[in-house]
Amino acid sequence: MTTSTSKESSLRFLKQTIDLAKNSPPKPTNFRVGCVIVAYGGPNSPQILSTGYTLELEGNTHAEQCALRKLASDHSIPEDDVGSLLSGELNIVLYTSLEPCGKRLSGNLACVQRIINTRKQHPEGGIRKVVFGAKEPGTFVQDSQSCKLLTEATIEWEYLPDLEQDILTVAMEGHVKDEKAKDTSEKTKQAAKPAEAGQPSMGAGSAPQEHASAEAQPRNPKKRMMEAPPGSEESRS
Ligand code: HJL
Ligand code: ZN
């Protein structure tokens, strides 16, 4: 049986994942992602059961991982048993701004596996469908296998690219190299462009200021506090 989600409703939840992702601290070592878990089968459907964003919870946590962990903790059950809450009738769809990870550089359990594990207790239930708005860029892991793994686990998935640009802009904030590359290409563009009549030149003169304001951004102390102690699963990077 396929889980029908209207495009209108899917885009609404994907927009919500972008808003959630904006709460995530910019970091060069991962993406800022948002996740919403929705029941399409309950009495007040569609109903949001849980939300999450990258690094919302303690440790090196992903958006999907946070949404699942929060759902489990809301019901005082272990994270591994979260699937027991998700019967087939609830018709659960997981929305994530970025395709679920299939592999993590840290070696932590990939979110695609966490999603597949929700079907342990209810082979007809758990997360039945995953909707995402952007493919994982090859920054950390190339050729993500997550969609293949979802298909093998008979979990439907849908890639809705309408909001992809916004999603990637939010996801990649804090990626230092990208910012520098963008800055350099902006400078090159501006240097090549003659100043327009009546307009102040935006050439090389403005660049040091941009640089200075980027440098002046304080490091987020919360980010450091959220790092798990050395040796724990979450701290591996
Ligand atoms: C998704 C997230 C998130 C990523 N992907 N779907 N949700 N951060 O919340 C994928 C990226 C991994 C890197 C580094 N990011 O995060 O591939 O350190 O962040 O385990 O592979 O791995 P760690
Ligand atoms: Zn993940």
In the numeric block, which tokens belong to residue 164?
């992809």
In the numeric block, which tokens belong to residue 39?
């029941």
Strand 34-39 to strand 92-98: parallel, antiparallel, or no bridges (unpaired)? antiparallel
Question: By alpha-carbon position, which residue is closest to atom 14 of ligand 1?
Answer: 105
Atom of ligand 1 nearest to the CA of 141: 17
Question: By alpha-carbon position, which residue is closest to atom 2 of ligand 1?
Answer: 62
Contact between 83 and 129 (Cβ < 8 Å): no
Give tens-digit pLDDT for 133-144: 999 999 999 999
With a CB cutoff of 8 Å and minimum separation 6, the contacts of 67 are 35, 36, 37, 50, 51, 52, 94
The CA 217 to ligand 1 mean position distance, Å, reads 23
User: What does the pLDDT read at residue 100?
Assistant: 98
The verdict on whether omega for the bond into residue 46 sits within 30 degrees of 0, i.e. cis, is yes
**Binding pocket residue ranges, ligand 1, CB within 6 Å:** 29-31, 33, 54, 60, 62-64, 96, 98, 100-101, 104-106, 108, 111, 136, 140-141, 237
The CA 227 to ligand 1 mean position distance, Å, reads 15
Atom of ligand 1 nearest to the CA of 132: 6
SS3 116: helix
Could you give the angle at which helices 164-171 and 7-21 cross, rounded to 10 degrees?
20
Atom of ligand 1 nearest to the CA of 54: 9
The CA 118 to ligand 1 mean position distance, Å, reads 19
Of 38, 42, 20, 34, the C-alpha closest to 133 is 34
Strand 92-98 to strand 127-134: parallel, antiparallel, or no bridges (unpaired)? parallel
User: What does the pLDDT read at residue 122?
Assistant: 83
The CA 192 to ligand 1 mean position distance, Å, reads 37
Atom of ligand 1 nearest to the CA of 236: 18
Global pTM?
0.78
Contact between 160 and 7 (Cβ < 8 Å): yes
The CA 69 to ligand 1 mean position distance, Å, reads 16
Q: Look up tokens 């007040």; give the residue.
A: 44
With a CB cutoff of 8 Å and minimum separation 6, the contacts of 91 are 3, 39, 40, 41, 45, 128
Question: How are strands ordered across the β-sheet holding 156-159?
Answer: 47-53, 34-39, 92-98, 127-134, 156-159
Backbone angles phi, psi at 127, to 5 degrees: -80, 120
User: What does the pLDDT read at residue 44?
Assistant: 86
Contact between 136 and 64 (Cβ < 8 Å): no
Contact between 119 and 80 (Cβ < 8 Å): no
Question: By alpha-carbon position, which residue is closest to atom 11 of ligand 1?
Answer: 30
Pocket mutation for ligand 1, best pick of 140, 232, 235 (most atoms within 8 Å of C-beta) = 140
DSSP secondary-structure letter at 58?
T
Give tens-digit pLDDT for 39-56: 999 778 999 999 999 999
User: What does the pLDDT read at residue 227?
Assistant: 40
Q: 3-state SS of the chain: helix, strand, coil percent to 5?
A: 45, 15, 45
User: What does the pLDDT read at residue 1?
Assistant: 59
Q: Kindly state the helix (H) or strand (E) to which residue 138 belongs, with its residue range.
A: none
User: What does the pLDDT read at residue 218?
Assistant: 35
The CA 136 to ligand 1 mean position distance, Å, reads 9
How crowded is residue 54: how many other Cβ atoms within 10 Å of its Cβ? 27
DSSP secondary-structure letter at 121?
S
Measured from the alpha carbon of residue 104, the closest ligand is 1
The list of the chain residues with pLDDT below 70 reads: 1-2, 177-237
